Amino acid sequence: MKDRNNSTVAKINLRDDIFGVRAAPGVVHEAVINFLANQRQGTHATKTKGLVRGGGKKPWRQKHTGRARAGSIRSPLWRGGGIVFGPQPRDYSYELPKKVKRLALRTALSIKMSEGAITVIDRFSMDRPKTKDMIAILKNLGLEGERILIVTPERDEVVALSARNIPGVKVVRVSDVNSYDVLVHGRLLMTKDAVARFGGKEITE
């Protein structure tokens, strides 16, 4: 564990059943697809023949014109006509078993741990929101310019406001961590209390 100046202040034991899980790429893939599907708004829509404006009058009589029969200028066969079988509003979300989500998250955390991409600090020690201070902390930890997921034990407005204008940085609390965010960010920056929520135990030296 490091302080905000990147000095090691203590060691932390992490649970192997959370940070040492063998890779289960199929489960992680399933969880990521589920997360992305649940984010879709599903508000896409195309206009059918009945929704396109105009076309109320039959363009010409049925017989004796030498032309093909036509009932509306908004037929799908005509330019500017309705769309057949186009996308309509729908709900893409679906549920995954909780066991699958938990296993996917543990696998994602284990992957980051094996890559050495998790940094643990004591605390942020910020009295007021200041983007400049957050940038300085990240720079001292050697995380400047990285895509970083900051994990706090509870909602921390000071940290969230300080990091929201930094590109590639996202702040979440422990209860909101998901496998997609863990994988899509290159590095994880966690506080000591956040690690404790995952089952980590501090060893002071």
1-34 pLDDT tens trace? 666 666 665 677 777 788 888 877 899 999 999 9
Question: Could you give the angle at the alpha carbon of 9 between the alpha carbons of 6 and 12, nearest 5°?
Answer: 105
The rounded radius of gyration (Å) of the Cα atoms in the chain is 27
Measure the N-to-C terminal CA separation of the chain; round to a whole number of Å: 11
Task: Give yes or no for residue 202 having a pLDDT over 60.
Answer: no
119 and 190 Cβ atoms separated by less than 8 Å: yes
> What are the Cα distances from residue 2, in Å, to 5, 118, 160, 189, 192?
8, 11, 20, 11, 9
Task: Give yes or no for residue 205 having a pLDDT over 50.
Answer: no
Please give the helix or strand (H or E) that residue 151 lies within, else none.
strand 148-152
What is the arithmetic mean of pLDDT over 192-202?
78
> What are the Cα distances from residue 114, in Å, to 108, 110, 173, 189?
10, 6, 22, 15
Name residue 169's beta-bridge partners: 148
- Cα-Cα-Cα-Cα torsion 188, 194, 195, 196, nearest 10 degrees, comes to 180
Name residue 184's beta-bridge partners: none
Residue 137 main-chain phi, psi, to 5 deg: -65, -45
What is the arithmetic mean of pLDDT over 146-173?
94
What pLDDT score was predicted for residue 177?
94
Q: What percent of the chain clears pLDDT 90, i.e. is strictly above it?
A: 68
What pLDDT score was predicted for residue 67?
94
Task: Give yes or no for residue 109 having a pLDDT over 60.
Answer: yes
Residues in the chain, overall count? 205
172 and 149 Cβ atoms separated by less than 8 Å: yes
Q: Please give the domain boundaries of the chain with CATH numbers for all domains.
A: 10-40+96-204 (3.40.1370.10), 43-91 (no CATH)
> How many Cβ atoms are within 10 Å of 191's Cβ, its own excluded?
21
Helix, coil or strand: residue 38:
helix
What pLDDT score was predicted for residue 4?
61
pLDDT digits (tens, 9 = 90+) for 45-92: 999 998 999 888 999 999 999 999 999 999 999 999 999 999 999 999
